[in-house]
Structure 1
Amino acid sequence: MSKAPEGPTPGFLVWRLSMKWRVSIDRALGPLGLTHAQYSLLGSLLGMQRAGLRPSQRALADHTGLEALYVSKLARSLEASGLVERATDPADTRAVQLSLTDEGLAVADRAVEIVRRLVDGLLAPLGGLDGPDTEAFTRTLTALLDAPVPPAIDPSTEESS
């Protein structure tokens, strides 16, 4: 008898939801000239900057879950667009700190508002951003994200069923 689940698996549903949200955000931010990945960096940088931080590219990579090399490429692109400034960290000359320019602050503020309204609509089935089901959903997602990644399974050591 097959152990295959009936219907979609949780992993498939999480992947589909992340793709739905990414595409929705890409479309919503297109008029600002931003992609979802650029927004992830700008929005995170905005929040960190408002908290008085000037994060390194590594700190932003850790915060966003993006690869450090990808964050570096995004930061260079956003710097070329005049939205981000990159500077050597005085405490560690190997590290690069990021900050928003004045234009970057204005674009990030607009982008955050656009995404907030979009996400409120995407969460409408749970009562919107402030809905009690959204709160529970957020706790569940946080628990899944906080759990360590289990070690990889070596397929050559698995027993046949």
Structure 2
Amino acid sequence: MTRVRLRPTMQSDLDFVLTLERDPENLPFITPWERTQHEAAIRFPDFRHFIIEAGPDFESAGFAIVIGCRSQHQSIELKRMVVQVKGQGTGRAAFRVLKRIAFDDLGAHRLWLDVKSMNTRARGLYESEGFQVEGTLRDAVRVGKLTPSGFDSLVVMSMLASEFAGRRTAVQELPA
């Protein structure tokens, strides 16, 4: 498993974050934010904005944003996760750390996300990591010429704290 750690994003990291968001390889799968949105996410207590560091020297390898950290409903959303190099296990390792943070540190009852239906790589990761499909928001986002209709659907997926605990018991998750 790839070694990763997450640390809070600093203002000095935002050029890296914006570069990742605007990378042509990532653009089809996300809706990029303006710098001011990222600045607000760094400061707002209901958000956690992380830099994903990976490898032997823990170099910056991506970023992740979670929302709803103070939700009275204990429902936390993984708003975005982008890794620089795909297919090397960084995303999976970071996702496992994010689940631990959400359930162990932030006390989530439910961790959820939405993913574009055409993002098969991410969907496969989330399913293999125990997330369940809750439903589909049909043709919810404009994607231009990437699909014949110009729209893509969002697949809503989640994991409950009890499911996370069961996976931990089965040694499918990081220890507490």
Quick check: TM above 0.5? no
Which of these two proteins has the greater Rg computed from alpha carbons? 1
